[in-house]
Chains A and B, each alone.
Chain A
Amino acid sequence: MPVDRLATGCQPLGFWDGMGLWEQWGINFFPRLGDTMCRAMGGATPGGIPDWLIFAILGLAGAFAVVNVAMLGVPYVILLERKLLGRFQHRVGPNRVGFFGLLQPMADGIKLMTKEDITPRVADKLVFSLAPLVFVVPVLLMFAPLPWAPHAVLADLDVGILYIVAVTSAAEIGVFMGGWSSNNKFSLFGAMRVVALVVSYEIPLVLAIVGVVMLTGSLNLAAIVEGQRFVPNLLWQPLGFIVFMIAVSAELNRAPFDLLEADSELVSGFHTEYSGMKWGVIQIGEYAAIIGFSGIIATLFLSGWKGPAPMPGYLWFVLKMGMIISGFIWVRATIPRLRVDQIMNLGWKFLLPLALINIFVTAGEILAYPDGLPVWLIPVNFAFAAIVVAVAARLLGIQGQPRQVVPAPPVFETMASS
């Protein structure tokens, strides 16, 4: 029977199955949604639509759904950010368009689409137009292996987390392309900064994941969620969580690492010259990356779709993502930006050793207790993380370089040359 084979092995079917289930609580609203859809298309009948076409249709439909969830999430994450920033700053935030400003994203979108799309005369036009796409596509690819609910994975890759790390670092090429091709010095500064930033922060980012992967023994994201049986990984990996959060903030170019946009220094960094929907696409890329990475944090450290109360898995997942996004916004509302050299220091001298220590300690714990870590390790882990962070910060901190001696003669000969 082709359908049974499909239902067990086919990922597009699995994705639709998973979205319909409250499987973990034994409640089943849409039993085997994927199967049903497959049958409705005549998958089981001889002489109907061929199997591969059904896979393709259901797979594309799944991809369409996930990408659209991400894209629709973006305006509302922006709205959430603006509302929350407003409240953190003792003001209201957008509230004129629609009820509570809920239509504000629509208004913004319409404004961006109808705005004139300016390409600077001296820009490299092809690269300039391509950069937003190169920026946004890898971010959208990141959503493929995210487990929204049990089985609800679009691409259940065995190397899921590795794939995500690989794909997301490609987005920075888009940033660099945009900054370079704009032919603007501020953009160039932003582009150069992002290269330095990403090279430095990819490493602690990946190393922080290693601890989690060792605990689970798998790179598969769904397996990582399943592996967090009773408590989320956060409790076993507080140090890894801290390192990962800081590295992710840098990867997302969020405060306090937003120095490639740095509105007070670089006007707006690499997208200074962008306008209209090209700028809009860059914004979508940035905020989709925030959604995606908060999904990854939820998966790796907060046990993904699982939760202590009966709710559908994807609701738990989205709830955890929302909490993480709010945390990012809170940080943005409070903390000033670091300087370039301080960021490099933080990345190489603080995060990297911490991530390595985390790997060694986790490995030791797993070696000592191969049948599962004992509960008393949780407070020990936390105490250890606090001590290590405090000591490392005291020793290394974020001190930057001192003032540099400029021996060169003045570049500007006259003060009245303008």
Chain B
Amino acid sequence: MYGEGILKGMAVTLKHLFKKPVTVQYPEERAPMFPRFRGYEFVWYEDRCTGCASCAKYCPLGTIRIETETEPDPNVGDRYGLKVFDIDTGRCMFCGLCVEACPYDALFMGTGFERATYTRPSMVVHIDELRAAKKKPSAYARPHLHGINFEDETSLSSEEAGR
């Protein structure tokens, strides 16, 4: 019969009228992030970082800026002291190549995604911020972190984060 197709379509929309909406009411409800989510709040362990700048080299956009100085302590030996470690998250595309490239597992992707700011300069994450930030590393390129659950106040030390 003519009009049957229209009626069938109307039945489909009517069926959806009585279904529960799929919308997630964001600020109150949150969709779960998966462990490998490549997010903001890069996790950086200074004690592991040698200042080799592999991450900076592998970044396709050159968003990581590293300046080093000779380590004043002669006992440490195989590493540089870090003066500057800036990640320009305004240009970062979160491809995760820096994390993959890091030979000492010092850099991890973060799990956060709420870091809206008003100015571009404030999107540059400086070394002090990286030191002070809560460390909630993502499991991206670090499969051993799979399954870790982060509470609000968790902050993993470099031993807990593992290799």
Contacts and interface: CB of A to CB of B under 8 A. Distances in A.
Interface of A: 84, 86-92, 95, 330-331, 333-335, 389-390, 393-394, 397
Contact of A87 (B6, B9, B12, B21): B21
A90 B10 contact: no
Interface string B1-40: 1110010011011101101011101000000000000000
Interface residues of B, number: 16
Nearest to B5: A335
A34 B43 CA distance: 77
Given A330-B10, A335-B9, 12 more contacts: A84-B17, A86-B21, A88-B13, A88-B17, A90-B19, A90-B21, A91-B22, A92-B23, A334-B10, A334-B12, A389-B2, A394-B2
Interface of B: 1-3, 6, 9-10, 12-14, 16-17, 19, 21-23, 25
A333 B14 CA distance: 10
B21 A91 contact: yes
A406 to B, nearest CB: 32
A89 B23 CA distance: 11
A334 B9 CA distance: 6
Contact of B21 (A92, A390, A394): A92
Contacts of B16: 87-90
A390 B1 contact: yes
A97 to B, nearest CB: 14
28 contacts: A87-B17, A87-B21, A88-B13, A88-B17, A89-B16, A90-B16, A90-B21, A91-B23, A92-B21, A92-B23, A95-B25, A330-B10, A330-B13, A330-B14, A331-B10, A333-B13, A334-B6, A334-B9, A334-B10, A334-B12, A334-B13, A335-B6, A335-B9, A389-B2, A389-B3, A390-B1, A390-B2, A394-B2
A248 to B, nearest CB: 17
Nearest to A336: B9
Nearest to A256: B6
A414 B25 CA distance: 52
Contacts of B12: 334
Contacts of A394: 2
A87 B25 CA distance: 15
Contacts of A84: 17
A199 B17 CA distance: 36
A87 B23 CA distance: 10
A184 to B, nearest CB: 33
A92 B2 CA distance: 33
Contacts of B1: 390
Nearest to B12: A334
A381 to B, nearest CB: 18
Contacts of A333: 13
